[in-house]
């Protein structure tokens, strides 16, 4: 078996104006679809970020991918030296091999350790959608604890999520604390809660908030990136007894050892887009288990190919102790046939169809590809590019002087 062609297909999809500590999402966002076709006409697909750096890296990688044996992945990874570009190709290779072998992707990865994968209801403060009728959920402005509870009712009612995560770092920390309190009052004090301020609190503020949380008797699973550096996380851990999770400061293998030496984190949030693909996430799982670290899963504004890949790789990772994050319920359109994939009681059930179990909708793919070339979509693949893109998007709501400075509180 030999790969004949690698297609790199940038697309743009509708996205709500979600807020975070860097600013806000614009209402059009970019993703990239990778499609591999063998000489025999077999196909595998992957999905990743949509900025020019990633697209350029994938287009350069095509010369190495075309002509390769899909089973011989390691030489490609070593030649690319780019975990994000390789991650997109790796996902497409896993899908291709699963289809070729007639096996689901989780079996290509070594087999599933769970039949369904739990996800959290990922709640955002947000601006009102400019086109409310096209929103998939919560088109109104969410700028208080009360409106966040209203948003959460929709998430739980429609998808059955049993864990709730608040994207913080937007309102005053005490208002975000009140949001967690009202969520517990609404859904029960046993509901697992999380908050992710994206590094916008000082160590002193994060310490105060954590101690208040203990007094309020909430079931907070962990604090995610509450402070702005790895060393600040290490200082914070000396003050509080909540686990500390990160997706900002441990995003590659070389960063694990310093984090452990500093005792800076307890939970690493995996992501098959930049930990070396689906197979790289299995290596991360082994490393975390060896070091007694917890594993969860990070999310970005992804479409159905990534959603399927997230479910398959999480099913094959024994150390995933927490419900995975996902932006997917916010997405109002998709590139897969029959999409979007459905949640039941907050979970995605694993398909036993070959590969990822999804097919591209060619008409939607063409429509979103055309939109990519006709618009200026939100596109990033790093913290610095994300900060610039989100800050730029603030001009759309009249906050042209917005500065994503941290810590803010």
Residues labelled as active-site residues: 167, 298
- Distance between CA atoms of residues 236 and 153, nearest Å: 32
- Distance between CA atoms of residues 222 and 195, nearest Å: 8
In angstroms, the Cα distances linking 362 to 59, 337, 359, 367 are 21, 8, 9, 9
**b/e map 78-100, b = 16+ CB within 10 Å:** eebebbbbbbbbbbbbbbbbbbb
- Distance between CA atoms of residues 142 and 144, nearest Å: 6
In angstroms, the Cα distances linking 198 to 130, 150, 227 are 26, 23, 7
- Distance between CA atoms of residues 400 and 404, nearest Å: 12
Decide: 158 and 328 in contact? Cβ < 8 Å: no
Q: Which residues contact 188 (CB under 8 A, 6 or more apart)?
A: none
Decide: 347 and 116 in contact? Cβ < 8 Å: yes
Decide: 99 and 44 in contact? Cβ < 8 Å: yes
């Amino acid at each position: 078996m030999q790969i004949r062609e690698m297609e790199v297909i940038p697309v743009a999809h509708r996205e709500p104006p979600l807020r975070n500590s860097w600013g806000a999402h614009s209402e059009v966002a970019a993703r990239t679809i990778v499609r591999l076709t063998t000489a025999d006409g077999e196909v595998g697909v992957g999905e990743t970020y949509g900025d020019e750096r990633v697209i350029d890296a994938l287009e350069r990688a095509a010369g190495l991918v075309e002509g390769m044996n899909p089973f011989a992945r390691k030489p490609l990874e070593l030649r690319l030296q780019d975990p994000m570009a390789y991650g997109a190709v790796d996902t497409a290779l896993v899908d291709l091999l699963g289809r070729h072998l007639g096996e689901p992707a989780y079996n290509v990865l070594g087999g599933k350790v769970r039949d369904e994968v739990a996800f959290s209801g990922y709640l955002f403060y947000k601006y009102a959608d400019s086109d409310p009728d096209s929103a998939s959920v919560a088109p109104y402005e969410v700028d208080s604890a009360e409106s966040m509870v209203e948003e959460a009712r929709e998430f739980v009612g429609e998808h059955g999520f049993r864990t709730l995560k608040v994207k913080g770092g937007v309102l005053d920390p005490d208002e975000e604390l009140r949001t967690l309190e009202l969520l517990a009052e609404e859904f029960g004090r046993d509901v697992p809660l999380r908050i992710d301020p994206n590094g916008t609190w000082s160590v002193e503020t994060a310490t105060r908030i954590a101690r208040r949380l203990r007094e309020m008797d909430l079931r907070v699973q962990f604090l995610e990136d509450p402070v702005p550096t790895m060393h600040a996380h290490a200082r914070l851990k000396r003050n509080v007894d909540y686990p500390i999770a990160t997706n900002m400061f441990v995003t590659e293998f070389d960063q694990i050892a310093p984090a452990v030496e500093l005792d800076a984190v307890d939970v690493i949030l995996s992501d098959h887009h930049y930990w070396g693909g689906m197979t790289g996430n299995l290596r991360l799982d082994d490393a975390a288990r060896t070091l007694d670290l917890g594993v969860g899963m990070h999310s970005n504004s992804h479409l159905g190919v990534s959603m399927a890949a997230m479910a398959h790789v999480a099913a094959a990772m024994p150390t995933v102790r927490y419900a995975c994050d996902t932006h997917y319920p916010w997405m109002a359109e998709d590139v897969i046939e029959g999409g979007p994939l459905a949640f039941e009681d907050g979970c995605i059930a694993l398909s036993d169809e070959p590969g990822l179990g999804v097919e591209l909708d060619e008409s939607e793919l063409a429509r979103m590809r055309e939109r990519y070339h006709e618009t200026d979509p939100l596109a990033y693949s790093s913290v610095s590019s994300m900060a610039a893109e989100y800050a730029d998007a603030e001009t759309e709501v009249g906050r042209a002087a917005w500065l994503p400075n941290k810590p803010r509180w």
